[in-house]
């Protein structure tokens, strides 16, 4: 096994830990709240603390990796994630648990961003193939992980969902130590813009908190968070334009491919996360009536397709360019959502819902590896970390923004007084209104996907060389 492969295995393990922890903790949350005697507010902060730390620090994590080396930063972040997991496993109250989750989120931001940046730097022109492998492996982990977490909680203890991270982290550390090293960049800059980092983190933190809270509360009560986010972001942009050594070189966005790939990322992940969120709720509503277990199994084929085909699609993008998959994929994605929108009864789930899932799964596998590889490779190699941070941040924010927007669309069409997607107790009229709201929401998500495809059609060259000059 060559040293690059060992580094790729480390990147996969580290990223899988970071991704899985959000899902597994959600499964274990009812048990944790019962054992440690905390309520709904505590449950919300156990989940929210992790997400807030992630989104706030993606950009900073990438910049730190660029300046001080992606390999050592990744190594330190995996070790920090393991330490935070141990704290969570030994937690005796909700306060310690929230601290542990915050520390996990901080470490996960550095792990996720620098794992992708390291792949980009080590694999260069083969980044699409390598990221396809990374996508396939992390998809398999996401398919198996939540079920494994559920078994650990049910058969043994919720604490094991934290302690199981320790041996996996050790394997990741050993692989990265034995793996390939980055080429040293002559004249690499070592200064770090602390003011820009603070402004950037604050803007993303406030925006994420606002978008999360507006899903449960009215916009009228949370508007001040968005105002503060805009002010902080404006300060961040001004700072980056004026400082000699910016955290985020805004000139990167003048690069056509970089700007197009990241805008498509925002739109596609907005479509993906909003549609997935409301599809899961709709399948369990009174109109359809699937159990939570059956509803979760419904999307396993998507993970299987990603696991089996992502590497091949990534290799295609390396050899032939990303234009074709990034323009065709969104069309298939939108078609799958529109077909799924026609599901109005339990029988329709199998007649139209399953073909809809197959269609958007085909679209998704065409998009995920090429769009990530294109966004990272469009930036010079010395900015691999910041490119990864930008792309990961936009994928997260796209989902948060679109979930809020699609929720507004659904509420507007269904009627503000209708409790959409209720599991029981809805009148026939309310159920019909909910269905109309769902149709409108899925149409909105399809529109986001098509907009992403249009961006690729115009902004991605038909035969682009993925790797930018260093």
Q: Convert the pLDDT of each residue in 421-442 to its tens digit.
A: 665 556 677 677 778 888 999 9
**331 assigned to some structural domain:** yes
Same domain as 125, residue 39 = yes
Number of structural domains, the chain?
Answer: 3
Same domain, 355 and 459: yes
Q: Collapsing DSSP states into helix, strand and coil, what is residue 222?
A: helix
Do 73 and 174 share a domain, yes or no?
Answer: yes
| Intra-chain end-to-end CA distance of the chain, in Å | 28
| The three-state (H, E, C) secondary structure of 129-161, written as one string | HHHHHHHHHHHHHHHHHHHHHHHHHHHCCCCHH
Tokens representing 222 are: 């949370």
Per-residue pLDDT, 468: 45
312, two tokens: 């091949």
CATH number at residue 289: 1.20.1250.20
239 and 262 share one domain: no
Same domain, 241 and 289: no
pTM for this prediction:
0.85
Give the tokens for residue 199: 């402004």
pLDDT value of residue 469: 43
Q: Indicate the SS3 state at residue 69.
A: coil
Mark which of 183, 203, 234 sits at the end of a domain: 183
CA distance 444 to 452: 13
Residue 331 or 30, more confident: 331
Mean pLDDT within 108-133: 87
Distance CA 108, CA 55 (A): 10
Q: Mark whether 369 and 467 lie in a shared domain.
A: yes
Residue 294 CB partners (closer than 8 Å, separation 6+): 283
Which residues have a Cβ under 8 Å from the Cβ of 91 and sit 6 or more positions away? 36, 97, 100
How far is CA 252 from each of CA 112, 246, 441, 465, rounded to the nearest angstrom?
21, 12, 34, 17
Q: pLDDT by residue (tens digit) across 222-265?
A: 788 889 999 999 998 999 888 888 888 888 888 999 999 999 99
Residue 268, pLDDT > 50, answer yes
| Average pLDDT rounded to a whole number, residues 395-414 | 84
pLDDT of the residue at 423: 58
């Amino acid at each position: 096994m060559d040293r690059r492969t060992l580094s790729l295995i480390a990147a996969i393990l580290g990223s899988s830990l970071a991704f899985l922890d959000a899902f597994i903790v959600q499964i274990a949350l009812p048990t944790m709240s019962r054992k440690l005697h905390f309520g709904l507010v505590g449950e919300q902060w156990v989940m929210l603390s992790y997400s807030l730390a992630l989104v706030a620090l993606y950009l900073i994590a990438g910049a730190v990796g660029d300046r001080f080396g992606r390999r050592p930063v990744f190594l330190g972040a995996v070790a920090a994630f393991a330490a935070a997991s141990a704290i969570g496993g030994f937690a005796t109250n909700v306060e310690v648990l929230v601290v542990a989750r915050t520390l996990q989120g901080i470490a996960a931001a550095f792990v996720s961003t620098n794992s992708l940046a390291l792949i980009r730097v080590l694999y260069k022109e083969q980044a699409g193939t390598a990221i396809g492998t990374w996508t396939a492996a992390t998809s398999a982990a996401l398919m198996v992980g939540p079920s494994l977490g559920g078994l650990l909680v049910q058969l043994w203890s919720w604490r094991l969902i934290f302690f199981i991270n320790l041996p996996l982290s050790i394997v990741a550390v050993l692989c990265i130590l034995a793996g390939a090293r980055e080429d040293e960049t002559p004249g690499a800059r070592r200064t770090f813009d602390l003011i820009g980092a603070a402004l950037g983190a604050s803007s993303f933190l406030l925006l994420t908190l606002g978008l999360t809270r507006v899903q449960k509360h009215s916009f009228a009560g949370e508007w001040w968070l968005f105002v503060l986010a805009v002010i902080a972001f404006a300060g961040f942009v001004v700072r980056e334009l004026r400082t000699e050594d910016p955290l985020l070189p805004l000139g990167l966005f003048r690069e056509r491919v970089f700007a197009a790939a990241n805008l498509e990322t925002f739109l596609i992940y907005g479509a993906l996360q909003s549609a997935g969120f409301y599809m899961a709720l709709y399948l369990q509503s009174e109109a359809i009536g699937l159990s939570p277990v059956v509803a979760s199994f419904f999307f396993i084929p998507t993970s299987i397709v990603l696991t089996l085909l992502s590497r091949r699609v990534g290799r295609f993008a390396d050899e032939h360019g990303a234009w074709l998959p990034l323009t065709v994929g969104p069309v298939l994605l939108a078609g799958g959502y529109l077909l799924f929108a026609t599901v109005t009864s339990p029988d329709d789930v199998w007649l139209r819902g399953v073909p809809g899932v197959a269609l958007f799964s085909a679209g998704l596998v065409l998009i995920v590896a090429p769009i990530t590889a294109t966004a990272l490779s469009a930036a010079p190699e010395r900015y691999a970390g910041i490119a990864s941070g930008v792309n990961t941040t936009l994928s997260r924010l796209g989902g948060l923004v679109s979930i809020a927007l699609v929720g507004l669309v659904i509420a507007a069409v269904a009627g503000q007084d209708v409790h959409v997607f209720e599991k029981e107790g809805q009148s026939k009229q309310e159920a019909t209104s909910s269905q109309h709201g769902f149709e409108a929401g899925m149409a909105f998500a399809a529109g986001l996907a098509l907009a992403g495809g249009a961006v690729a059609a115009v902004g991605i060259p038909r035969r682009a060389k993925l790797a930018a000059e260093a």
